[in-house]
Every structure is written in structure tokens, then in C-alpha cells.
Amino acid sequence: MNAFLLGVLSSLATSALLLALSLLHAARPLWWLTAACSWFNGTGLHRVYRRQASAERTMRQDLARAQWVKVIAGRGNILTREAFAPLWSNTISPASVQILLPDPDTPNDSWLDRRSHNVARFDPGFTPDLLRSQVRANIDYLTQAAQTHTGIWLRRYNLPHTCRIIATDKVAYLTFYSDNAHGRNSPCLYARAPGLLYTIALQQFDTAWANSTEAPDPQHP
């Protein structure tokens, strides 16, 4: 039993060390070490991007091959950028796309306001109402972009803004928000199925989806 526990602790320590090295250096040669370690301990972690923006090229490729897509975001700007462009231009057609964005119509002192307050600490141009207006603009964009698509569902949530999840039937991108950086500048974990991180990403999305509210139907405005 002691040998087993030592083996587990050694595996976890190795994973933590590789993750730390990846975050510090963001070096591609370390990715194969991270993937090998994740295979051993079952986490499914294959890559660590120092900035989430650096993952968007690979993300676009994964989205192009996806059978379904699930997204929970704190603002939704990434949905209007290049990574998601094929999704709205009819070049790819997943069977379903589920999108969760914050509810911009929540009362004051909501989780949206708390995230806005945190961002204002390091971004002086971030006024209290800016995040709400940006979410509304992204909802309008998605509503318009989804006019000619089927299987796209948009819902709103009022939950803690802890991370961004972009998941397909094969991979998941997890970007954990911090109090001193925008999501695009935060570290991003790239996990593949099957694996612990991938399972956690889907569980968190499904929990948020179950506690979300209907947004205007993009296909029936």
C-alpha cells in the first residue's frame, strides 16, 4: 500500500512539475513530456499554452473536425474571432453547438459585475457597464450569425466567472480566469478525451447549462 501511495504521489508531483515548466517556458519540446505524463496519470492534459490566444490556431482546426461544440465564456469575444469563423460561414456544420454567455440583464452586484470589477483593477479603460454592453453585442452577433444554421443553442447564466471552456467530442480547452489578466492572456490547458480534465470540463459545462436561462432563439428572433 505504501509503495502504491508513493507511486501516486510521485506521479502527481511529476505532473505538477511539468505543468509549472510548461507555464514558465511555454516551450513546444515540453509538450510531449506533458502528454506522456498525462497518459500515465490519466489527466488527459496534452499541452499548456501560456496565453489562451496562442491556442486559437489549433482550436480552429479542432472545431473544423468537431461533431459537437460546447462553449462557456465570460464575455464571448472569442466567438467573434478567427478561430470560430468557419462555424459561422457554413464551412463546417457540427450536429449541435451549445453556447453559454453571462446574462447581461442581471441585477447589480451579480457575478458579471464582480468580474467587471476585477478586470477594472488592471484595465483602466474598463468601466462598470462595459462588460455588460460587450456581452450584449456578442449575443447580438451570435443571434445574427446563427440565422442560417440549425442546432445552435444560446443560453445565459449567472454563475461565478471562473473559467472559459471550449469543448468538442474529442478535446477541451480550459482557460482559468485570474484577477490580473484578461482571459485571452491567461494560461490555457489543452486536454483530450478520455481523461480527467476533459471529464471535468464537460461536467462544469453541463452543470452551468442546467442552471442557465433561455436566450432569444437565434433561429426564431
Q: What is the pLDDT of residues 116-161, one digit of tens each?
A: 888 878 888 877 788 899 999 999 988 887 777 778 899 999 988 7
* All cell numbers assigned to 168: 468538442
How many CB atoms within 10 Å of residue 124?
7
Q: Is residue 82 part of a domain?
A: yes
14 within some domain: yes
DSSP 182-219: -GGGS-EEEEESSSHHHHHHHHHHHHHHHT-EEPPPTT
The pTM (predicted TM-score) of the whole model is 0.78
Grid cell in block for residue 46: 496534452
In a domain, 219, yes or no: no
| The pLDDT value given to residue 71 | 97
The CB density around residue 203, as the number of other CB atoms within 10 Å, is 10
Query: Which amino acid is residue 17, in one-letter code?
Result: L
36 and 48: one domain?
A: no
Residue 221 lies in a domain: no
Confidence of residue 203 (pLDDT cuts 50, 70, 90): very high
Q: Are residues 61 and 133 in the same domain?
A: yes
Whether residue 187 contacts residue 25, with contact meaning beta carbons closer than 8 Å, is answered with no
**Residues 20 and 116 grouped into a single domain:** no
Q: What CA–CA distance (Å, rounded) separates 78 from 63?
A: 13
220 inside domain: no
Does any domain span residue 133?
yes
Domain presence at residue 57: yes
Range(s) of the domain holding residue 165: 42-214
pLDDT digits (tens, 9 = 90+) for 21-74: 444 444 454 544 454 455 545 577 888 888 878 888 899 999 989 999 999 998
Asked, for residue 21, whether it belongs to a domain, the answer is yes
Claim to verify: residue 112 and residue 94 sit in the same structural domain: yes
Please indicate, yes or no, whether residues 12 and 92 belong to a single structural domain of this protein.
no
Q: Are both 6 and 108 inside the same structural domain?
A: no
Confidence of residue 5 (pLDDT cuts 50, 70, 90): very low
Give the pLDDT score at 8: 39
Regarding whether 13 and 96 lie in a shared domain, the answer is: no
Strand residues in 18-82 grouped as ranges (E): 45-49, 68-72
Q: How many domains is the chain partitioned into structurally?
A: 2
Is residue 35 domain-shared with residue 52, that is, in the same domain? no
CA atoms within 13 A on the CB side of 209: 15
Q: Among 77, 69, 75, 78, which Cα is nearest to 99's? A: 69
CATH number of the domain within which 74 lies: 3.30.870.10
Are 88 and 143 in a shared domain? yes
One domain, residues 105 and 31: no
Same domain? For 70 and 159 the reply is yes
Same domain, 101 and 169: yes
| CA 218/CA 103 separation, integer angstroms | 16
Q: So what's the pLDDT on residue 24?
A: 45
pLDDT attached to residue 38: 52
